[in-house]
Structure 1
């Protein structure tokens, strides 16, 4: 291996690592706020890329119908529980209308705009509008009633949600893969490296989102509420912070990050309905490197995973996935020895 090959592999690794960093950040956020190890994070990546692919063909994506169905289920379940608890029927109906309003508008917009062959950027924004609300609805359907359950129970629920979304992905998009057009086709030469415009977009979008998340947690009231919930859930409740709203907001942010990641990688690789699982799992590995608690360490771990994958594919392409996932073992061993497990009360 000479310097030029090493440079190309390093660029490829850092590019992939930038996407893994976003997913690792979302994983850390969800675990910190809700204690959910969210295995289906990768499904939002696939949904983002494939929803845009469907819009490119002029079809209404299945995720638009999924959004409407999930909103209807949430409205029905919450209305039923509200009436059982004796809430006034008027308030229950108002909440149901509020739950259905935004998904109905988004689904209608998708039906009207899909055949219009809008510009790529407009289709990307519509994709984000469709996929992002799925996060909050997923939390309300699958996790909200189990918010106080153990981490193991929440993990089992995540496995079930993963298989449900995987099956829906196959139903909506079929078994064939799609590759989206690049947002920027320009190419730049830097020594032995050939930088594409899409690579620069990945870097800029990842950096911008990480900075926005930092500002969100440091400067905004909602961000500080999420941080308080992450530090002490019971204490946050006693201070008047709604942990329910914190969970919904964190899942919505995670879905947005997943959909954006799908838009970023869609032009660089062919995405299938099940491609998100491996991508999300690599983001999870990076989050484990950070102990599921540190955003800066998650970024460092993601870059490490990307570099390990790139150089592993050069030396042993058949075993690159094995190399990446095996790297988690010494990290787990080290953390286990450093922080011995104590039985929960």
Structure 2
């Protein structure tokens, strides 16, 4: 291996690591706020990329119908719960209307826009609008009623949600993989390296999103409420912060980050209905490097995972996944010895 090859591998690793950094931050956010180790984070990646692929083909993506089904199920369940708690009919109707409004509007827009073949950027925004609301609806359906359960119970639920979302992905998109067109086809020479426009977009979007997340958590009331919930759920409740609202918002943000990551990697690799699991798992490895608690360390861990994967694929391409996932073992051992935790009460 010479310097040129090493530079190319490093660039590929940093590019992949930028996407893993977004997924790692979403994983850290969800665990900090809700104590959910969210295994299906990668499914949002696949849904985002494949939803855009369906729009590219001029077809209404199956995720539209899934969004409507999730919204209808959420409205029905919450209406039944409110009825048992003797909530007024008018309030129940308003809540159901609020739950159904956005999914119905997006479904109508998607059905109208899909055959008209709008520009790629417009289709990407529509894909984000379809997938992002699924996060909050998923929390309300699967996690909200068990928000105070143990981490193990929440993890088991996450595994079940992962299998359900993977199966639905096969139903909606089929077994065939798709590769989306690049958002920017230019190429730039930098010595021995050649930077594609899509690579630059990945870097710019990642940096922009990290800055926006920092501003959100530091400067906005909702961001500070999420930070307070992450530090102490009970204390946040006593101060009037809704842990339910924090959970819904954090899941919505995680779905947005996952879908955006899918749009970024869609032009660089072929995405299948089950591709999200491995991609999300690498983001989880990066989050474990950070102890599921530190955003800066999660970003550093993600870059490390990307570089390790890139060089591992050069030396032993058949074992690159094994190399990446084996690297987590010494980290887990070191953290278990350094930070022993008592059993959760």
TM range (shorter): over 0.9
Q: Which residue number corresponds to residue 252 of structure 1?
A: 252
SS in 2 for 1:135: helix
Q: Deviations over 1:198-256 (max 9, x none)?
A: 00000000000010000000000000000000000000000000110000000000000
CA distance in 2, matches of 1:301, 1:179: 27
SS in 1 for 2:176: coil
Q: Which residue number corresponds to residue 310 of structure 1?
A: 310
Give structure 1 stretches of 5+ with no counterpart: none
CA distance in 1, matches of 2:124, 2:255: 14
Q: How do residues 259-298 of structure 1 correspond to structure 2 at under 5 angstroms?
A: 259-298=259-298
SS in 1 for 2:158: helix
Task: Compute the TM-score of the two structures, normalised by the length of structure 2.
Answer: 1.00
CA distance in 2, matches of 1:343, 1:32: 18
Cα offset, 1:339, TM superposition:
1.0
Q: Which residue number corresponds to residue 232 of structure 1?
A: 232
Q: How do residues 39-188 of structure 1 correspond to structure 2 at under 5 angstroms?
A: 39-188=39-188
Give structure 2 stretches of 5+ with no counterpart: none
Q: Which residue number corresponds to residue 335 of structure 2?
A: 335
Q: Which residue number corresponds to residue 5 of structure 1?
A: 5
Cα offset, 1:89, TM superposition:
1.0
Cα offset, 1:76, TM superposition:
0.1
Q: How do residues 199-238 of structure 1 correspond to structure 2 at under 5 angstroms?
A: 199-238=199-238
SS in 1 for 2:201: helix
Q: Deviations over 1:25-58 (max 9, x none)?
A: 0000000000000000000000000000000000
Q: Which residue number corresponds to residue 14 of structure 1?
A: 14
Cα offset, 1:343, TM superposition:
2.0
CA distance in 2, matches of 1:98, 1:135: 16
SS in 2 for 1:7: helix
Task: Compute the TM-score of the two structures, normalised by the length of structure 1.
Answer: 1.00
CA distance in 1, matches of 2:167, 2:32: 28
Tell me how large the CA RMSD over aligned residues is. Answer: 0.4
Q: Deviations over 1:55-86 (max 9, x none)?
A: 00000000011000000000000000000011
Q: Deviations over 1:59-118 (max 9, x none)?
A: 000001100000000000000000001111110111001100010000000000001100
CA distance in 2, matches of 1:135, 1:126: 16
SS in 1 for 2:142: helix
